[in-house]
């Protein structure tokens, strides 16, 4: 028996979406203040309009149910699923008015990319974008990276006592502390602390390379946000390559690495339990995976005439590996080099790195190390069972914030999400190929979108085919929510509409 | 296509520089011929030589054979015309006939394959962003050139003196100095850890940059103010209704 939405559910969902939309008007205040401070009057007018629209839409949605009560699991799922798209539409208002997009769909693509921390951008003439618009792009990263629901919960927008289903519907399952709201506040605090430290260091480095103080500070802040959130937007069109600075690249590599590690493990290190960190299944999977893939990547680069020398391989190769596996999407080589100078093997290794992604419970996208580790453990369990006598009971355990026993439910969840990711990567590649592109870039782009990786080849470009663009938007949305929330939501909508009744009537 | 266009341009330039000495030699021969009594013979021979040179230079296969002498003259003349490039008018790095100048676009370089690698190219673009320090000695700078009309950019490595020609960098509210840069394009630069860049040899300012600050227009804020007031009013009504229900 499938669950259906009742009218009451729709009104409650509408009310809470209104709460989130109202919250976005608070977030829009940041670029509005930036615009006024930098005397960017045109963007200031755009942001005032966007604030007005979000206030009006948010307040109107709240009228759907004046006293909504607490969200149940089903409603929480819908609020989370719709929030990412509704807030992306609100976010398009000032950016579309900036005149830096060829079509409205391009603006929506960038906003979904920003919110889902994919980091793929098809903006035109980024180097002339106002500080206010840039600030908004990175605010989207900040909200999306922590999670819209996490941010809303940490601000207490859903009340102090909240059901865990709302938190879990956004692809998070682990609690730093038992209380959901306190967990989200911890995530926000640790994230903001790291961003602050990185901003200070990067500001110094940007000043050293000759940037003006204001530009140095703003770009350091934006790079720190984008790096830690593993987003991938950059304030300049050449991405990180623009700075021509190895120290900046090193700092960003560290920030990306920190961002791709689970917040739960951050908390353990914070509490002084460093041994827990090194025993963790995710960390061990990460080290093993990166060691193997980096060797393959280096071997593949050695075969190319261009990147085979050690300094180039270390500087460009290492940065791209970390950017890809953390699903950040920063680049210190050009898109052209990605396609023409890298070997096809190195190109596909980057795609594989993005496909697997970082740690669960971090800001990274992709399948996640936790699932890969669990699937590997499941294989070990199957082999052990095959070798063990019939009377033996095989128990396989793993470490993830304490010792845990591998259960069929955990394996099923990991396998389901793994298969959904792989299928989405494959379907996205076929869609790209159907639009007349070569297979390798089509695979690369599809993986980049669904894993929220953000390193793009030549398929995602201003004014791209609308069908491909819409598919990529859906891929980014589905990948960020790790499919289950989205599929459950879509199924529930279809069931609620009861298509069989419509067919019988006709 | 561009290469062919350049070859034609170069051939015409070669003709222009090559034909001058031929004409002056011909006029001198006429005067000498009048004295020696063999003017007609000499004039006819030189005219024939000039015609042959014209035909050969227009023939693609022979264009290169004729140019070495002309190229040297052309290079000297061309470099002499360029301001502020030191006392030496001749570019000693310019190889006789193995390097070519492709008058190309930044967009083409941004999508370049190995065909453009290691070639002398010339591009025009707007200097955007900042002059980024290259190395610790402060003698070189990285300048980002942006193409007009599309989003393509290229990193240009130039001396601090060349970078000093830029009066404004492009950003919001500023149009950067338009530069014409001639230099060597590297698809994967061996000197800069594999970056794709252009090593500038000649930097010329095409047009100066300008600040275009936003002007405050109160009317532009009216739609925003109206929607904010409407939103706040709706929100006020919502809270009033909620309090009444409690």
Instruction: Tell me the average confidence (pLDDT) per consecutive run of 10 residues in chain A, 506 residues long.
Output: 82 92 94 97 97 96 88 83 91 96 96 94 95 97 85 70 63 60 81 96 97 96 96 95 96 95 88 89 93 92 81 88 94 90 91 93 89 94 90 88 89 94 96 95 95 90 94 94 84 82 66
The helix, strand and coil proportions of chain A, stated in percent and rounded to the nearest 5, come to: 70, 0, 30
pLDDT at residue B72 is higher than 50? no
Could you say which of A66, A129, A131 has the minimum Cβ distance to residue B242? A66
Q: Which residues on chain B are in Cβ contact (under 8 Å) with A128? A: 128, 170-172
The per-residue pLDDT for A506 is: 57
Q: Which alpha helices (H) appear in B37-59, and where do they start and end?
A: 39-58
Would you call B215 an interface residue with chain A, using a CB distance cutoff of 8 Å?
A: yes
ipTM over 0.85: yes
Chains A & B: contacts with CB separation below 8 Å: 176
Which residues in chain B (98-157) have CB-CB distances under 8 A to chain A?
110-114, 128-134, 141-142, 144, 146, 150-151, 153, 155
Could you say which of B132, B144, B223 has the minimum Cβ distance to residue A210? B132
**How many other CB atoms are there within 10 angstroms of residue B49's CB atom?**
13
Could you say which of B187, B214, B224 has the minimum Cβ distance to residue A49? B224
Pairwise CB contact (< 8 Å): B196 & A334:
yes
What element of type H or E holds A184? helix A180-208
| Residue of B115, B168, B189, B214 to mutate, testing the A interface (most A Cβ within 10 Å of its Cβ) | B214
Distance, in Å, from the CA atom of A400 to the CA atom of A277, rounded to the nearest integer, reads 9
The per-residue pLDDT for B173 is: 94
Could you say which of B129, B225, B245 has the minimum Cβ distance to residue A48? B225
The Cα-based distances of A285 to A86, A408, B245 in angstroms read 36, 20, 55
Distance, in Å, from the CA atom of A233 to the CA atom of B56, rounded to the nearest integer, reads 56
- Closest approach of chain B CAs to the CA of A317, in angstroms? 10
Residue of B nearest to A212 (CA): B130
Pairwise CB contact (< 8 Å): B144 & A127:
yes
Distance, in Å, from the CA atom of A226 to the CA atom of A256, rounded to the nearest integer, reads 9
| For chain B, percent of residues with pLDDT exceeding 90 | 45
Q: Which residues on chain A are in Cβ contact (under 8 Å) with B170? A: 127-128
| Residue of A49, A122, A457 to mutate, testing the B interface (most B Cβ within 10 Å of its Cβ) | A49
Distance, in Å, from the CA atom of A415 to the CA atom of A141, rounded to the nearest integer, reads 29
Q: Which residues on chain B are in Cβ contact (under 8 Å) with A127? A: 128-129, 144, 146, 153, 170-171
Mean pLDDT confidence for B63-88: 40
**Rounded (10°) angle between helices A466-480 and A73-97:** 140
Q: Establish how many alpha carbons lie within 13 A of residue B54's alpha carbon, considering only the half-sphere containing its beta carbon.
A: 11
Give the burial class of A165: count Cβ atoms within 10 A of its Cβ; 0-12 exposed, 13-18 middle, 19 or more buried.
Answer: middle
pLDDT in tens, B151-178: 799 999 999 999 999 999 999 999 999 9
List the structure tokens of B224. Answer: 């925003």
Would you call B235 an interface residue with chain A, using a CB distance cutoff of 8 Å?
A: yes
The bridge status of strand B140-146 relative to strand B153-159 is antiparallel
The per-residue pLDDT for A165 is: 64
Distance, in Å, from the CA atom of A126 to the CA atom of A119, rounded to the nearest integer, reads 14
pLDDT at residue B1 is higher than 50? no
Top pLDDT among A425 and B9 is at A425
| Residue of B144, B190, B194 to mutate, testing the A interface (most A Cβ within 10 Å of its Cβ) | B194
The per-residue pLDDT for A153 is: 75
Would you call B196 an interface residue with chain A, using a CB distance cutoff of 8 Å?
A: yes
> Across all residues in chain B, what is the average pLDDT?
72
Q: What is the pTM of this model?
A: 0.83
Q: Tokens 């600075």 map to which residue?
A: A245
Pairwise CB contact (< 8 Å): B111 & A336:
yes
Pairwise CB contact (< 8 Å): B195 & A333:
yes
Pairwise CB contact (< 8 Å): A124 & B150:
yes
Mean pLDDT confidence for B122-127: 94
Pairwise CB contact (< 8 Å): B238 & A66:
yes
Pairwise CB contact (< 8 Å): A245 & B130:
no
The per-residue pLDDT for B43 is: 46
- DSSP letters for A46-74: HHHHHHHHHHHHHHHHHTT-SS-----HH
Q: Tokens 């000759």 map to which residue?
A: A210
Q: Which residues on chain A are in Cβ contact (under 8 Å) with B187? A: 306, 337, 340-341
Pairwise CB contact (< 8 Å): B225 & A215:
no
Top pLDDT among B36 and A370 is at A370
The per-residue pLDDT for B8 is: 37
């Amino acid at each position: 028996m499938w669950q259906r939405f009742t009218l009451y559910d729709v009104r409650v969902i509408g009310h809470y979406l209104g709460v989130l939309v109202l919250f976005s008007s608070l977030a829009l205040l940041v670029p509005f203040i930036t615009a006024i401070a930098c005397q960017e009057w045109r963007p200031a007018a755009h942001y005032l309009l966007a604030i007005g629209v979000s206030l009006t839409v948010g307040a109107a949605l709240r009228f759907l149910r004046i006293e909504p009560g607490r969200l149940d699991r089903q409603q929480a799922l819908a609020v989370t699923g719709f929030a990412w798209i509704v807030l992306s539409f609100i976010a398009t208002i000032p950016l579309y008015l900036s005149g830096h997009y060829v079509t409205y769909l391009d603006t929506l693509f960038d906003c979904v990319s920003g919110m889902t921390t994919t980091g793929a951008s098809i903006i035109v003439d980024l180097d002339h974008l106002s500080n206010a618009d840039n600030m908004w792009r990175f605010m989207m990263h900040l909200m999306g990276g922590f999670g819209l629901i996490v941010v809303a919960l940490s601000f207490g927008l859903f009340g102090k006592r909240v059901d865990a289903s709302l938190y879990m519907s956004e692809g998070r399952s682990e609690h730093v502390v038992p209380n959901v709201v306190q967990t989200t506040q911890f995530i926000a605090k640790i994230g903001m602390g790291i961003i602050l430290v990185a901003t200070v260091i990067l500001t110094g480095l940007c000043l050293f390379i000759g940037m003006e103080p204001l530009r140095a500070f703003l770009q350091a802040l934006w790079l720190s946000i984008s790096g830690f959130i593993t987003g991938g937007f950059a304030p300049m069109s050449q991405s990180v390559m623009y700075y021509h600075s190895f120290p900046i690249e090193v700092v960003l590599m560290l920030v990306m690495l920190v961002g791709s590690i689970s917040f739960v493990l951050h908390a353990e290190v914070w509490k002084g339990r460093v041994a827990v960190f090194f025993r963790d299944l995710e960390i061990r999977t990460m080290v093993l995976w990166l060691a193997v893939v980096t060797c393959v990547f280096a071997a593949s680069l050695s075969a190319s005439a261009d990147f085979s020398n050690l300094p180039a391989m270390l500087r460009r190769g290492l940065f791209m590996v970390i950017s890809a596996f953390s699903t950040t999407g920063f680049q210190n080589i050009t898109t052209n080099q990605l396609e023409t100078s890298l070997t096809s093997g190195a190109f596909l290794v980057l795609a594989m790195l993005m496909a697997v992604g970082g740690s669960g419970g971090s800001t990274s996208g992709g399948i996640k190390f936790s699932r890969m580790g669990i699937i590997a453990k499941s294989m070990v369990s199957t082999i052990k069972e095959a070798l063990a006598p019939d009377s033996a009971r095989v128990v396989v355990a793993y470490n993830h914030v304490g010792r845990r026993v591998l259960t069929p439910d955990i394996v099923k969840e990991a396998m389901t999400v793994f298969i959904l990711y792989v299928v989405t990567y494959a379907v996205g590649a076929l869609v790209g190929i159907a639009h007349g592109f070569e297979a390798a870039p089509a695979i690369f782009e599809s993986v980049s979108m669904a894993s929220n990786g953000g390193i793009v080849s030549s398929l995602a470009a201003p004014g791209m085919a609308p069908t491909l663009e819409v598919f990529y938007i859906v891929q980014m949305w589905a990948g960020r929510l790790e499919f289950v929330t989205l599929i459950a939501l879509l199924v529930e909508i279809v069931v609620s509409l009861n298509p069989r009744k419509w067919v019988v009537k006709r | 296509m561009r290469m062919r266009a350049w070859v034609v341009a170069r051939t015409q330039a070669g003709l222009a520089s090559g034909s001058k000495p031929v004409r002056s030699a011909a006029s001198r021969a006429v005067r000498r011929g009048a004295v020696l009594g063999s003017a007609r013979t000499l004039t006819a021979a030189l005219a024939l030589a000039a015609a042959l040179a014209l035909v050969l230079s227009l023939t693609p296969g022979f264009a290169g054979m004729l140019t070495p002498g002309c190229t040297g003259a052309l290079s000297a003349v061309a470099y002499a015309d360029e301001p502020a490039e030191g006392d030496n008018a001749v570019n000693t790095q310019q190889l006789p006939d193995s390097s070519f100048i492709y008058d190309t676009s930044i967009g083409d370089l941004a999508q370049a394959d190995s065909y453009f690698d290691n070639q002398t190219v010339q591009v025009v673009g707007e200097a955007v962003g900042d002059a980024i320090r290259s190395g610790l000695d402060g003698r070189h700078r990285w300048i980002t050139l942006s193409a007009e009309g599309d989003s393509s950019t290229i990193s240009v490595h130039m001396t601090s003196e060349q970078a000093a020609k830029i009066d404004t960098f492009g950003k919001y509210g500023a149009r950067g100095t338009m530069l014409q840069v001639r230099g060597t394009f590297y698809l994967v630069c061996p000197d800069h850890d594999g970056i794709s860049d252009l090593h500038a040899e000649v930097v010329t300012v095409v047009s100066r940059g300008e600040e275009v600050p936003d002007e405050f227009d109160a009317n532009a804020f009216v739609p925003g103010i109206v929607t904010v007031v409407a939103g706040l009013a709706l929100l006020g009504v919502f809270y009033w209704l909620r309090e009444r229900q409690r």
